[in-house]
Amino acid sequence: MIMRQIVIASKNQGKIKEIKNFLHGLDIECFSIDDFPEVPIIEEDCKTFEDNALKKAKIVFDHTKITTIADDSGLEIPYLNNQPGVHSSRYAGESASDLQNCQKLLDELKGVDIDHRAARFKCILVLHNSLYNNMLFEGKCRGYVIEEMKGENGFGYDPLFVPEGYNKTFAELDLVTKNKISHRGKALTSLRTFLVRIS
């Protein structure tokens, strides 16, 4: 099955840019849900990344009838009982900015030593249409949370997260390096490999 169009089930411009970069070079026209005003606001009220991604993919496909990819991702910190987790994008409130979410996380970890600042980013990516019903691609990246924001690139918690084997945050790394090791990068690499195989 050759896919000529894909809807990215997101309004997050940073996420949309990352996904489009990974699909660059494929004969696929990418849209976001901003291109389809008839798609309702989707409440991410599920308890797992998987269920949130599946919900978004199905709703968007049902309204657009175009192959949809949706992801849910977030930062899990064992010391905080795996919070922010599925609440990563709204950790400081429903309309919180990236800066506000990062600041709340810093407040939660204030005075916590490095041994308890271990963290992992997780991404679940779903491909959904009438033929490939809810195919899942997963990516994880382990690291730790530092005590102050560093770097100007990326979005979300990128300025606070240093991946294993590196001494820079996601927000300090160049895009090529980040895409090789990040949770979303790993999931998107698997998705791209699949799309190339079926094209």
Hey, where are the domains in the chain?
5-198
Q: Could you read off the pLDDT of 47-83 as tens digits, one per residue?
A: 999 999 999 999 999 999 999 999 999 999 999 999 9
C-alpha Rg value of the chain to the nearest Å? 17
User: Which CATH code for domain 5-198?
Assistant: 3.90.950.10
Q: Is the dihedral of CA 45, 59, 52, 174 positive or negative?
A: negative
Helix, strand or coil for residue 85? helix
Helix, strand or coil for residue 107? helix
Q: Give the residue numbers annotated as catalytic, written as ranges.
A: 72
**Contact residues for 132 (Cβ-Cβ < 8 A; gap 6+):** 1, 67
Q: Could you read off the pLDDT of 122-176 as tens digits, one per residue?
A: 999 999 998 888 899 999 999 999 999 999 988 899 999 999 999 999 999 998 8
Distance of CA 20 to the CA centre of its chain: 13
